Chains A and B, each alone.
Chain A
Amino acid sequence: MSKLSLLSVIAILCSVSTHAQSLSSTSRGSKFNPAIGLNTLFKYTNSSKTPDEDGLKLQGVELQISSDVDAYFRAEATIGIHSKHEEEGSEEHAHGYDVEPEEVFVETISLPHITIKAGKSFVNFAKYNAVHTHAQPFISKSQLQTRMIGEESLSQVGIGASFLAPLSWFSEVSIQAFQPENDDLFVDSHHSPAIAVKWKNLWELSDNLTLESGLSTIKFHAHAHGSDVEDETSLLGADLTLKWKPITGGKYNSFVWSSEFISKERSGTVIAKNSGVTTFSRLQLSQRLFAQAQYEFIGFNKSEGEADVNSYAALIAFNPTEFSSLRAQYEQTHVSNSAVDKKISLQLNVSIGAHPAHQY
């Protein structure tokens, strides 16, 4: 199925390209072609606990296409190719690749003060859920994100709006209603949307220093299909990030400290709760060299039977340009009553074509 999907996507892209070329004579040349970029992640892993996942892998590919539709809308699509995991007995193993739309949405560009977005997009929850894989701060997603939200970021079909609050600093509020389709978080229900709200603030403490805070929540409740039981899912996220980049010499020195807390609670047919925190820092050593360290703990306010998780990671990155990076990471994850998982990862991240700026 994955090969068929891959062939289908290639066929669609070729036909789109051909169609675009035939349209170009009526749409006044290539100036109206969308911006197209490709991000590719190659990874090598050596771990003590999951040797089946070890070795050289294509970690993922992201094809990003964006353009103004007309005077009113802008459209963006990110097609992701990731390893497909299949269950074999009690374990999951990687088998081939999946092709899926990570994000396909339109947003308004002509409305003053507000942006309305509709389509499939990352839910604006927590600090890093809406960050594409290639832009994540570490080679692998944090334990907090993986255990609270899932292996993949939460991307759902819905509609949302965001606006700048009338305050004297940057303060952005976003509200989304989406069709929940994630078995790890929501029961199957087609008639009850989930609601996500995020409030993000950023203060310029000086020309060199910014402080960012975020508060977000996802709320969902419904009756599971064919059931009288009321199911509820509640996620809460809080994050704080301090960034220092001097206006003189900032090309060579910078420092980031970022922390995040996420809690999750489910009741009804599925009962589960857990909370955790992650904190990391990044120090720029020279123009192209960076060092990072991270600590995570998951196990606050947890359901009975849930294990405590302590995770440590250290990473060094060399970025030849803004279009390529080489990263080496060592991590240790201690899950109570289990052997320690020690992992070394190497990653090559390359980007070709047009690439939109990353969020700050």
Chain B
Amino acid sequence: MRALIFCIFLFQTTAFAKLNVLTTTSNLKSIVELIGGNKVKVESFAKGSQDPHYLQAKPSYSFKASKADLLVSIGLSLEDAWLPLIVRGSRNPKLRIGESARLVTSEFVDLLEATNKQVSRAEGDVHSEGNPHYMLSPRRSILVAKAVTDKLSSLDKVNKKYYVNNFNEFKKKMIESILKWRGLIKRNIKVITYHKTLTYFYNDFDILNVDVLEPKPGVPPTAFHIMKVIKKIKLNKIKNVLVENYFASTIANRIKIEVKNIKISNVAVAVGGKKGINNIFDLYDSIIQELRESE
């Protein structure tokens, strides 16, 4: 009898235990939270104001990963500089690529800027497998959410219906939001960005990214390149320069000296990157708002 009570207690405890999920970026964290709800406890290595290319592999991340039930990452070499060290240090073999507790979401989305041609570091920090910033695409966020749903369901079969219901709600809300956002901004508006972070967002909403402030990906702006960009701004009558929130606006502000009516927008590109951006919907909303203000 006591054994039976103990088994029931153990089952109940297990059933109510939350899945411990780690993500590499706060955008992925938001997706997992929206799908996983109260069945998951989620933490992101990179905070909303940090550049995920260059995170430092703190040993405390390995400690957190040692207890994780699932690790969700972007892939496409975005985290190559730090994530493998964290996974090795965690001594949690389930988190290795290909294992049951690892989800690399790039495998589930259609990618932009993938190339088969030979690339070298002389071209800057290029990702030949594809641009890794696909979480800035509302359309692709649905594909990522589906992958997260399937993975959570496979790890926690008891709550599969709950995750699927959350996904259906997420998908419905995202489709409605995309339609709303499309109605809020004009097609073919021209912008300048600091880095190629918003490529997928622009692709979803037919926005033309005329140039970037970096002469090559990952290389800080040079005076010569900025002069070329200023010429393009004047030629194309561009009204907005968007600077991702983990870059300083100093360079962009110098453009304002040459082009007085240009708007320099410090744009959050990750959840938590600014106050009030608490989930992925808030994030896309905020970018739409910045673009509307420059029309």
Contact = CB atoms under 8 A, between A and B. Distances in A.
A247 B50 contact: yes
A112 B93 contact: yes
A321 B219 contact: yes
Contact of A164 (B50, B81, B91, B96): B91
B58 A115 contact: no
B60 A357 contact: no
Interface stretch (A17-25, A186-194, A202-210, A272-280): A202-210
A155 B218 CA distance: 36
A203 B49 CA distance: 21
Interface residues of B, number: 32
Contact of B56 (A170, A249, A360): A360
A55 interface: no
Interface of B: 47, 49-51, 54, 56-60, 62-63, 66, 81-82, 84-85, 88-93, 96, 121, 125, 218-220, 246-248
Interface in A113-164: 113-115, 163-164
B59 A200 contact: yes
Given A164-B66, A204-B58, A357 B49 contact: no
The SS class assigned to the B binding surface is loop
Nearest to B51: A251
Contacts of A248: 49
The SS class assigned to the A binding surface is loop
B84 A172 contact: no
Contacts of B82: 357
B63 A169 contact: yes
A149 B251 CA distance: 47
Given A164-B66, A322-B54, A112 B59 contact: no
B275 to A, nearest CB: 12
Contact of B60 (A74, A115, A204, A321): A204
A241 to B, nearest CB: 11
Nearest to B93: A110
A109 B246 CA distance: 34
A171 B246 CA distance: 31
B246 A170 contact: no
B146 to A, nearest CB: 26
A202 B47 contact: no
